[in-house]
Amino acid sequence: YTSTKPPPPPSPLRSAKFFQANMRILVTGGAGFIGSHLVDKLMENEKNEVIVADNYFTGSKDNLRKWIGHPRFELIRHDVTEPLLVEVDQIYHLACPASPIFYKYNPVKTTKTNVIGTLNMLGLAKRVGARILLTSTSEVYGDPLVHPQDESYWGNVNPIGVRSCYDEGKRVAETLMFDYHRQHGIEIRIARIFNTYGPRMNIDDGRVVSNFIAQAIRGEPLTVQAPGTQTRSFCYVSDMVDGLIRLMEGENTGPINVGNPGEFTMLELAKTVKELINPDVEIIMVENTPDDPRQRKPDITKAKEVLGWEPKIKLRDGLPLMEDDFRARLQVPRKN
Ligand code: NAD
Ligand code: UDP
Ligand code: UDP
């Protein structure tokens, strides 16, 4: 028979236990490259419920397709420059375009995303008592005069250049994080992320690793921007996600550098990609963009000590994993 009586409400004890056991986590920018890998990792834990808020500027639903419809997952089209009302325990705040061609496309919007977006997420953290992690960047060190960069270095940043919307935007975001911490007692975590690469990067996003791999697969020349002696340090995305989760779960506010200290010139990177992916392609020198940092390498002493973290995947092992993903998306199989 069918009862017309409504079911009894869950006992307060049971629902309290349910809420204690489950961790509700907001990931802003979760449809992007690093964010979607972070979501994959968080969803592995059955006690986690994950909410992604993303405006799809550089991210896509496709990166999250395996979670859409999952009972512990929710996806919201939302721009972080607008207020957001959700009830969560933790916030991973990643929303912000990371590739220079995208963050320079609408620089005023990039500053708004960093400043107003971070302010809104801090207001949210304050209202609900959540812990919040900001993905800051090695770009806060600008064109560094100290090498390698440790967290005590204040940086050498041009405040009025074409990269400033991103660099200075992230610097203000860090300031807001620490002022909400000091003024309102918010639990904060700041990661200074160094160049990260791996599957799901936008094929045409203009960053150096994705450019070189796509060029090598398509048989096009690898475009090294002059002088080619500038250096970067590249971290594989699974190592990055591991570092971010350790930082969130640990006791230290940061800022903490999260990156791979292996340092390469862009010419060395091009030669490695050529050797591993397509020995037939040419390497050509093209014009660079303004304010390009000449060197960048993280000092990860603090991450090792405080988080017990260091990257495991070497560039030579990570590049072929990314190649597999790019070949599948470009539909160019490996020749044997
Ligand atoms: P990404 O561009 O792939 O991801 C950023 C995500 O944020 C995208 O899904 C995009 O749609 C979303 N987004 C952008 N503006 C938004 C807005 N106003 N409202 C809501 N969503 C918005 O970049 P990524 O490489 O995954 O970077 C993630 C974070 O890590 C960024 O904060 C970036 O600054 C930081 N970071 C990345 C690197 C790197 O090498 N990838 C280096 C340093 C710092
Ligand atoms: N905010 C939000 N979600 C919340 C609470 C606040 O997006 O759940 C936004 C709010 O709209 C404000 C910002 O966060 O623009 C800062 O909030 P806070 O309460 O710290 O400052 P105030 O509202 O007093 O400016
Ligand atoms: N770069 C390059 N060829 C490219 C794209 C970038 O040589 O096709 C260089 C660029 O000049 C810079 C480095 O690679 O020195 C890293 O650039 P990217 O845009 O990937 O990241 P970021 O400058 O933010 O570190």
Structure tokens at 78: 């939302």
Ligand 2: centre distance to CA 150 (Å): 32
Q: What is the pLDDT of residue 289?
A: 87
Query: Which residue's CA is the nearest one to ligand 3's atom 13?
Result: 208
Closest atom of ligand 2 to CA, residue 180: 20
8 Å CB contact between 287 and 228: no
Contacts of 326 (CB under 8 A, 6+ apart): 199, 203, 210, 213, 214, 217
Contacts of 295 (CB under 8 A, 6+ apart): 144, 147, 230, 231, 263
Q: What is the pLDDT of residue 7?
A: 58
Query: Which residue's CA is the nearest one to ligand 1's atom 41?
Result: 196
pLDDT mean by block of 10 residues, the chain; 336 residues: 57 50 92 98 97 97 97 98 98 96 96 98 98 97 92 96 97 98 98 97 93 97 96 97 98 97 96 97 94 90 97 97 96 84
Instruction: Please report the ipTM that was assigned to this predicted complex.
Output: 0.97
Q: How far apart are CA 100 and CA 107, in angstroms?
A: 10
Ligand nearest to the CA of 136: 1
Q: What is the pLDDT of residue 2?
A: 52
Q: What is the pLDDT of residue 291?
A: 82
Ligand nearest to the CA of 78: 1
User: Ligand 1, from 26, 27, 34, 113: best to mutate by most atoms within 8 Å of Cβ?
Assistant: 34
The overall longest dimension of the chain from CA atoms, in Å, is 80
Ligand 2: centre distance to CA 235 (Å): 34
Ligand nearest to the CA of 186: 2
Q: What is the pLDDT of residue 92?
A: 98
The number of beta carbons lying within 10 Å of the beta carbon of residue 210 is 20
* Three-state SS sequence of 260-299: CCCEEEHHHHHHHHHHHHCCCCCEEEECCCCCCCCCCCEC
Q: pTM here?
A: 0.93
Q: What is the pLDDT of residue 215?
A: 97
User: Ligand 3, from 207, 282, 284: best to mutate by most atoms within 8 Å of Cβ?
Assistant: 207
Which are the catalytic amino acids?
166
Q: What is the pLDDT of residue 304?
A: 98
Closest atom of ligand 2 to CA, residue 126: 20
User: Ligand 3, from 157, 197, 225, 291: best to mutate by most atoms within 8 Å of Cβ?
Assistant: 225
What residue ranges line ligand 3, CB within 6 angstroms? 100, 195, 207-208, 211, 223-225, 230, 232, 266, 288, 292
